Amino acid sequence: MVLVIATAGLIYELVIAAVASYLLGDSVFQFSTIIGVYLSALGLGAYLSGFVERKLALRFIDIELGAALVGGFSAPVLFVAFAHVSSFRVLLYGTVVLVGTLVGLELPLLMRLLSRQVSLKDLVAKSLTFDYAGALLGSLAFSLVLVPMVGLVQTSLFCGLLNAFTGLVSTWLLSNADDDSAEHFGGARIRAVVVIALLLVGLLQGNRFTELSEAAVYDGRVIHAAHSRYQRIVIVDNKGDLRLFLNGNLQFSSRDEHRYHEALVHPAMAAATKRGRIAIGGGGDGLAVREVFKWPDVQSVTLIDLDPAMTDLGRDNPRIRGLNRDALRDPRVTVVNSDAMTWFRESDDTFDVVILDFPDPSNFSLGKLYSRRFYASVRRRLGPGGALVVQSTSPMFARKAFWSVVATIRAAGFHVAPYHVFVPAFGEWGYVLATLDEAPAVGDLPARGLAYLDAATLADAFKFPRDMQQVAVTVNRLNNQALVSYYLDAWSRWD
């Protein structure tokens, strides 16, 4: 019993933190504050348990059912409320406090009930052992099984069922543990069955909760929504404009993605002396690969993207395939689903062009892919005469973050040439072109196949107006992650 309630309690904490991270961004802040508040609420629950004097078994069962309802419905309620409640953070942290308090009440009451049958020494040892084991089980199940397979909403509802069934079973297991509660177990069983029924209905309608929240958040019709092990992937059709969102952040709009991807790919391809072997970090949608194949001398492309759900989408989804022109089905493409930092460090391959198309550095796990150490690993994979390009967020909206990327690439031993273009869906967007031996010099662009970029447009891209020019910044290193702070501070002022 202790194992079950500890597992469910830990998963509630992780679910709420993950929902907050998905809806509000800044995952480090969300996880740290929610975990801190949750642990404090556990202490509050433990303290309040001392005021429960009578009917301990019945109180324990009702607390289990309360945790089942509040914790079980926490994710669906938060998802739906985000689009409709102005004071969302009050609801968020109120939910954390309520769930934490209920979970904090459970173990002290159960230990008091069992103390009548088990010696104190054995009771404390066994209870804490199963409590800590449940925390480990919950953390592993959450990240490896529940979220990848069923999603956040169903995960919280499933854990609610664990608590509710524990409450129901306790009406028999604790029937002899507390004489004061014996006459009330019939009513408790009815309440438990009602809670189980509500959670089962919620579980069956779990996808509907997410659809309601996303229909309110996104403009257009949601045509694909899925939780992978790493992120929430949503595709929206807004009157023919196909938009991809990862964890709520726009990745492309089909109306103007050609601007972004042409500017990302072709300056580096034109700057390299050879273009036979290409590596692309990120870009699981295949749109950068599409642009690469506009160069006839490309022999192979290695696409390194952490999330197989994203590369599967780029290869199999009809709408995405139409955009990338079946680029990921080309026999020259090798897809590697791996952490890019590990792969570039351990790989022995060399490339003529490396294109890094990672999401913006909004958290530390992404920020490492913009660090000096990572760029040093990429440098070792770049062949003679090779070129590197990095998408580098907006020099307009996140000026310090952009120039920190520039400074970091330079600190890794590259010659750099920053540039920017206007992408309507994003505004002014920045890139960094880098080479090893001398300052980057861009050659001729492809004669055909480009809808936006030409020689004159590209020449202007390397010129920065006064409000986007270089500012003093810190190099992004793994031990400081200065870039993440620059990025979050800048975008918080624009959102």
| pLDDT value of position 26 | 64
Per residue in 359-395, pLDDT tens? 999 888 889 999 999 999 999 999 999 999 999 999 9
- Residue among 200, 203, 234 nearest 218 (CA): 234
Q: Does the annotation mark 219 as catalytic?
A: no
pLDDT for residue 124: 78
| 269 vs 453: CA distance, rounded Å | 13
Confidence of residue 461 (pLDDT cuts 50, 70, 90): very high
Is 304:326 a contact under the CB 8 Å cutoff?
no
pLDDT exceeds cutoff 80 at 175: no
Strands 351-357 and 277-282: parallel
Whole-number pLDDT of residue 87: 86
Q: Name the CATH superfamily, with its identifier, for domain 219-252.
A: Spermidine synthase, tetramerisation domain (2.30.140.10)
Instruction: Supply the pLDDT for residue 480.
Output: 85
With H, G, I as helix, E, B as strand and everything else as coil, classify residue 267: helix
Measured CA to CA in angstroms, residue 416 lies from 161, 271, 395, 439, 441 at distances of 56, 12, 15, 7, 10
Query: Any bridge partners for residue 388, and if so which?
Result: 354, 434
Distance separating alpha carbons of residues 100 and 226, to the nearest angstrom: 28
Sheet holding 221-227, edge to edge: 221-227, 232-238, 241-246, 249-253
The separation between CA 171 and the C-alpha centre of its own chain, rounded to angstroms, equals: 40
The secondary structure element, H or E, covering residue 154 is helix 147-173
What type of residue is 323? L
Q: How far is CA 140 from CA 231, 309, 327, in A?
A: 17, 20, 36
According to DSSP, the β-strands at 333-336 and 232-238 are: unpaired
Q: How far apart are CA 215 and CA 368, in angstroms?
A: 33
**Confidence class for position 113, pLDDT limits 50, 70, 90:** confident
What is this structure's pTM? 0.79
What is the rounded average pLDDT for all residues in the chain?
A: 89
Task: Give the integer Cα–Cα distance in Å for 253 and 242.
Answer: 6
Residue 177 binned pLDDT confidence (cut-offs 50, 70, 90): low
Q: Pick the residue with more confidence: 70 or 214?
A: 70
> Per mean pLDDT, which range of 107-116, 351-360, 461-470 is the poorest?
107-116
Pick the CATH number of 2-214 from 1.10.1740, 3.30.160, 1.20.1250, 1.10.3470: 1.20.1250
Domain 254-494, CATH homologous superfamily name and number: Vaccinia Virus protein VP39 (3.40.50.150)
Whether pLDDT at 495 is above 80: no
Reported confidence tier of residue 96, pLDDT bands at 50, 70, 90: very high
pLDDT cut 70: percent of the chain above it: 95
Task: Report whether 285 contacts 314 (CB < 8 A).
Answer: yes
Q: Residue 122: which residues within 8 A CB-CB, separation 6 or more?
A: none
Q: Which of 65-79, 179-193, 293-307, 467-481 has the lowest mean pLDDT?
A: 179-193
Cα angle, residue 349 at apex, residues 347 and 355 outer, rounded to 5° = 90
The mean-pLDDT minimum among 26-35, 118-127, 273-282, 400-409 falls in 118-127
Reported as a pLDDT band with limits 50, 70 and 90, residue 181 is: low
- Which residue in the block uniquely carries the two structure tokens 């933190």? 17
Identify the pLDDT of residue 63: 93
Exposed/middle/buried for residue 417 (C-beta within 10 Å: 0-12, 13-18, 19+): buried
Say yes or no to pLDDT of 183 above 70: no
- Report the Cα 306 to chain-centroid distance in Å: 12
Is residue 252 a contact partner of residue 310, using CB atoms and an 8 Å limit?
no
304-308 own/partner pairs: CB under 8 Å, 24+ apart: 304/279, 304/280, 304/336, 304/338, 304/340, 304/343, 304/344, 305/281, 305/335, 305/336, 305/337, 305/340, 306/230, 306/337, 306/338, 306/339, 306/340, 307/228, 307/229, 307/230, 307/231, 307/337, 308/228, 308/337
User: Residue 244 — pLDDT band, cuts 50, 70, 90?
Assistant: very high
User: Exposed (0-12), middle (13-18) or buried (19+): which is 53, by Cβ within 10 Å?
Assistant: exposed
- Domain range list for the chain: 2-214, 219-252, 254-494
Predicted local distance difference test score (pLDDT) of residue 216? 65
pLDDT, average across residues 13-40: 84
- How many other C-beta atoms are found inside a 10 Å radius of the C-beta of residue 12? 30
2-214 shares its CATH topology with 219-252: no
Residue type (1 letter), 149: M
Q: Of these residues, 26, 131, 285, 357, which one is catalytic?
A: 357
